[in-house]
Amino acid sequence: MTAPGQAEDEVWTVGRLLRWTTEFLTRHGSESPRLESEILLANALDWQRVKLYMNINEEVGGLGRTLFRELVKKRAAGEPVAYLVGHKEFYSLDFEVSRDVLIPRPDTELLVMTFLELAKEIDSPLCVDVGTGSGCVAVACTKHHPSARFIAIDKSASALAVAGRNIARHGFSERIERRQGSLLEPLTAEERPGFIVSNPPYIATSEIAGLDSAVRNFEPLEALNGGPDGLELVRELLRQAAFRIGPEGTILIEVGHDQAATVQAEYARSAEWDFKGIRKDLGGNARLVILTKKNKFQSLAI
């Protein structure tokens, strides 16, 4: 790695590499160039990030620089840092990620927090995570609920493989079962979950082309595309859930920043569902919709 105007034989310390790369990634549009530089260098050296500052003046050898250079080139070309290093933090837990799964995002932590709030007094609830991807939601929920049991569903065998490794790594193989299939189809007739949680595809097909290139070019399209208005799979999930969820069961669905009002309008007078509210993410966007299944007497009365 040679900076403009600098000889190859000059000493490349940890600090010099971080400074140069921060400037380089800034020019290539990174919103967090220093943080990304640290994550990539720590990965190339197989260090924890804190070790970078403990060894800020240490020279980085040729192999480390070569690995780092390749990572930086890929990042400058748009590949997300999480895919380059193979992991991402979610709800203070570390998860393996690959291009077979969406990168976990802070907005989705609202799904976990709301589940934990609503399920905290319920012993051993049977729960379903639809479109589990990396398994981050099911694992985080299970980690913080002492007795919840999850069925983690995904259409993608590759995604389920990633989820399986994350489930095993965090020690929940006995409480989280993986199943492959579309939405709730893998459930048996006898399984009536008390909670369904989902971060389904909700980007309108026409909006895919306008997504940030890091998302559009690298994250799995099938985990993004929600049909003509983005809510195609949300509606189908609610249709299936009306027959599959347990009595007065609760479903939590993450939606796009401008979609919650549409869901509320469509289901405010539903015969099957009581619309229980909307939760906003840290940016103030309506991000999560909450519905509960009406009991049979309510349904017959409508």
d(CA 140, CA 154): 17
CATH class, range 87-301: alpha beta
User: Are the CB atoms for 263 and 249 separated by under 8 Å?
Assistant: no
| C-beta neighbour count of 99 within 10 angstroms | 15
What pTM, to 2 d.p., does this model score? 0.91
pLDDT tens string 80-136: 999 999 999 999 999 999 999 999 999 999 999 999 999 999 999 999 999 999 999
d(CA 249, CA 146): 19
pLDDT attached to residue 302: 29
pLDDT tens string 4-47: 334 455 799 999 999 999 999 999 989 999 999 999 999 999 99
d(CA 185, CA 62): 52
User: Are the CB atoms for 172 and 151 separated by under 8 Å?
Assistant: no
> What percent of the chain is modeled with pLDDT above 90?
92
pLDDT attached to residue 295: 79
d(CA 152, CA 70): 35
What does the DSSP assignment read for 109-146? HHHHHHHHHHHTT-SS-EEEEET-TTSHHHHHHHHHSS
Burial class (CB in 10 A: 0-12, 13-18, 19+), 104: buried
Average pLDDT for residues 211-228, to the nearest whole number?
95
